[in-house]
Chains A and B, each alone.
Chain A
Amino acid sequence: AQKVTQAQTEISVVEKEDVTLDCVYETRDTTYYLFWYKQPPSGELVFLIRRNSFDEQNEISGRYSWNFQKSTSSFNFTITASQVVDSAVYFCALRRPNSGYALNFGKGTSLLVTP
């Protein structure tokens, strides 16, 4: 069975701190796809990144970086020098097999960045 676990329910940091959001996944598939989405207070989920299982290279996009480690089944997300605008709920997700690209989501981590 597929499962995504985000153990951190809520995180609060002060602006400019670095913060890492954890994501652990379970799957029996050898080929799989992982995602991160951001849900700001407005409610619309925004796609951040997709990573496939055969590409373990870490990714950096501005202040955002992702660390994919198959050995520990983790796909962690780090925000460097956090800003108030980063306050949102972040979801990690795993593509379901045979489901038209549907995703299984973790329960999300609510990040609050205070000035």
Chain B
Amino acid sequence: DVKVTQSSRYLVKRTGEKVFLECVQDMDHENMFWYRQDPGLGLRLIYFSYDVKMKEKGDIPEGYSVSREKKERFSLILESASTNQTSMYLCASSGTSGSWNPKGRNTGELFFGEGSRLTVL
């Protein structure tokens, strides 16, 4: 099975702190994503990356940055955490449909991690 691992399930940080959320996938997927999930708002795309060192803004990139130095790892950075960034953060990866990964053929769907629940006080 595909494994997307997020480094922390629960974090509590103070306003103004720098926060790193790490995500690792084991499927050699080209594409990786960060979403945040809030009650009543569903999932909103923060950033995505389709290759190492490449990144693209999603719908709500303000206050966030990302880093993708290795294909398997995609990090979300909150430079100065604020209370309105309290949320559930979900990382996902996908392979290009029709391409192959170590465990079989990619079909293009997103595989998600378990999420990181961040509370900013």
Contact = CB atoms under 8 A, between A and B. Distances in A.
Interface of A: 33, 35, 37, 42-47, 50, 91, 95-96, 99-108
Contact of A100 (B35, B40, B49, B90): B49
Contact of B111 (A47, A95, A100, A102): A47
Contacts of B40: 107
B56 interface: yes
Nearest to B112: A45
A33 B58 CA distance: 19
A22 B3 CA distance: 30
Nearest to A46: B112
Nearest to A45: B112
B31 A100 contact: yes
Contact of B109 (A42, A44, A47, A96): A47
A69 B111 CA distance: 26
How many chain B residues sit at the interface, stated as a range, is 20 to 34
Contact of B30 (A100, A103, A106): A100
Contacts of A43: 88, 114-115
Interface of B: 30-31, 33, 35, 40-43, 45, 48-50, 56, 58, 88, 90, 92, 94, 96-97, 107-115
**What 7 A-B pairs come out closest when comparing CB atoms?**
A100-B50, A107-B42, A100-B31, A45-B112, A105-B43, A101-B94, A43-B115
Contact of A101 (B41, B42, B108): B108
A35 B107 CA distance: 12
A103 B110 contact: yes
Contact of B114 (A35, A42, A99, A104): A42
Given A42-B114, A44-B115, A50-B109, A99 B43 contact: no
Nearest to A4: B42
Contacts of B94: 100-101
Nearest to B45: A102
Contacts of B43: 91, 103, 105
Nearest to B2: A47
